[in-house]
Amino acid sequence: MIAGLDIGTTKIAALIGEVTDDMRVNIIGVGVAPSRGLRKGTVVDIEQATQSIEQAVEQAEHMAGRRIESVYVGVTGEHIRSLNSRGMIAVTSPTHEISREDVERVMESSRTVVLTPDREIIHAIPRGYIVDGQDGIRHPEGMSGSRLEVETHIIHGSSTFLQNITKCVQRARLQVNELVVEPIATAAAVLTEAERDLGVALADIGGGTTDVAVFTGGEIYYTGVIPIGGNHVTNDISMGLRTPPEESERIKLQYACALKELVGDNEVVPHRPMGSNEERRVPARVLAEIVEPRMRELFELVYEEIKKSGTAGMLPGGLVLSGGGSLMRGVVELAREVTDMPVRVGKPMNIGGLVDRVDSPVFATGVGLLLYGLEHSYMVGDTRHRSFWQGVMAWFRRLLSRFAQ
């Protein structure tokens, strides 16, 4: 089995997948809990965050009829930064054949970037290798050459944040297989190989932040985080219509439109203002006039990130939207207008099992964590391939730990 834990600002989603004989993932368990103790992806209350994780995991375990011991954990937040690095080594074997050790050495040399003590590398992803000046090589092992270089995309984050997320998961009696930056996971679920090869941008619109990733030549090229998400739209609605947060969230999910020109003249939005039990109605255009400026600002910032990457105008694959914010009516049309790019909404792909339970951009990161685990770390017979009885024993250990506390 493989398990993923998407720790977001508004929700925590736990997904359990079973690996088939042909190395595909079948979804067998899904759990969702309100995200408490986090703000914009950052832990502000460890106890509350831990309880939310436990709640989501227990739901997923109950549905799957299995117990899990370890998870791949998605991380996001304004603290995430990225840079492109380069490493180079001399191939020292007498035959000048590049070995696995040479590949590991050149990757290690690319990781020697200068970071402040409060920063920690999360991913070092090879974008391509160069052998004696020949670039565009993806798998240099076994080739001949005297000099090996690598271009690497380095993603780093706040050590304190990463430690606190890890601590929350461990307090929920789970081991962390790996921390995975969320746009990397989301991309695994919603992008096609053709889009990655051609060049494509991904915008994952969450509650507190929007993650941006750019892929070219089949590899990750740029990542960034924008401190705006769906919660900002909810707050704008609260201010504009004077409605409490819960009512504003309901209005956003049911009636919000990102582009006011798409709203009909006769459309109305029923709502209850703060401190009133009386239902009132407001023209839907009024709501759109509140929502559109924030969503337009968001896509302008997304396009700024794309321009910052140096790939504006060079992404035939266009822009793929994911996350809960991508479900809003008019969001594709607005994104096209602002970015002048082809735009589509990405849903999880390449999975089996309970597909209908996760067939939404909301679960793209969770599904992506499972696919990431399958691609990068899953090996038959290793510590992640648990038997049924190992899962049962893990459950008893966690139960005893709770009684001990």
List, for residues 198-249, the tens digit of each pLDDT value.
Answer: 999 999 999 989 999 999 999 999 999 999 999 999 999 999 999 999 999 9
Tokens for 3? 């398990």
Strand (E) positions, 8-80?
A: 11-19, 25-34, 38-39, 42-43, 70-75
Residue-level pLDDT at 399:
53
DSSP class of residue 99 equals P
Mean pLDDT across 363-376: 95
pLDDT above 70: residue 402: no
pLDDT above 80: residue 304: yes
Residue-level pLDDT at 78:
87
- Summary mean pLDDT of the chain: 91
pLDDT above 90: residue 401: no
Mean pLDDT across 20-47: 90
Tokens for 118? 């409060």
Tokens for 174? 């789970």
Mean pLDDT across 243-264: 96
DSSP class of residue 282 equals E
Mean pLDDT across 302-320: 97
Mean pLDDT across 332-361: 95
Tokens for 332? 């594709």
Residue-level pLDDT at 241:
96
Residue-level pLDDT at 188:
95
Tokens for 40? 């914009």
The CATH code that applies to domain 193-346 is 3.30.420.40
pLDDT above 60: residue 368: yes
Residue-level pLDDT at 173:
95
Q: Give the percent of the chain with pLDDT over 70.
A: 93
Mean pLDDT across 55-75: 96
Residue-level pLDDT at 21:
86
Residue-level pLDDT at 347:
95
Mean pLDDT across 323-351: 97
> Boundaries of CATH 3.30.420.40 in the chain?
193-346
Residue-level pLDDT at 43:
87
For residue 92, report the phi and psi dihedrals to the nearest 5 degrees.
Answer: -100, -5
For residue 86, report the phi and psi dihedrals to the nearest 5 degrees.
Answer: -140, 140
Residue-level pLDDT at 276:
85
Residue-level pLDDT at 251:
97
- Give CA–CA dist 221/115, Å, rounded: 19
- Fold classified for 81-157: Dna Ligase; domain 1 (3.30.1490)
pLDDT above 90: residue 388: no
Tokens for 280? 């009132």
- Give CA–CA dist 218/246, Å, rounded: 42
Residue-level pLDDT at 385:
40
Mean pLDDT across 108-128: 92
Return all residues near 25 (Cβ < 8 A) that are at least 6 apart: 2, 17, 18, 19, 350, 351, 352, 353, 370, 371, 374
pLDDT above 50: residue 380: no
Residue-level pLDDT at 405:
47
pLDDT above 80: residue 394: no
Which of 74-78, 80-84, 93-97, 387-391 is least confident?
387-391
Give whole-number Cα distances, 384 to 41, 176, 279, 378, in Å.
27, 11, 53, 7
pLDDT above 90: residue 38: no
Residue 235 burial (CB count, 10 A):
13
Q: How many residues are there in the chain?
A: 405
pLDDT tens-digit map of 148-161: 999 999 999 999 99
Which of 19-33, 63-77, 87-101, 368-382 is least confident?
368-382
Cβ 184 vs Cβ 82: under 8 Å:
no
Mean pLDDT across 280-285: 95
For residue 265, report the phi and psi dihedrals to the nearest 5 degrees.
Answer: -65, -30
> What is the C-alpha R_g of the chain?
23
Q: Give the percent of the chain with pLDDT over 90.
A: 82
Nearest of 288, 309, 294, 304 to residue 228 by alpha carbon? 294
Mean pLDDT across 171-179: 96
- Give CA–CA dist 25/28, Å, rounded: 9
Burial of residue 327, with CB atoms counted within 10 A of its CB: 0-12 exposed, 13-18 middle, 19 or more buried = middle
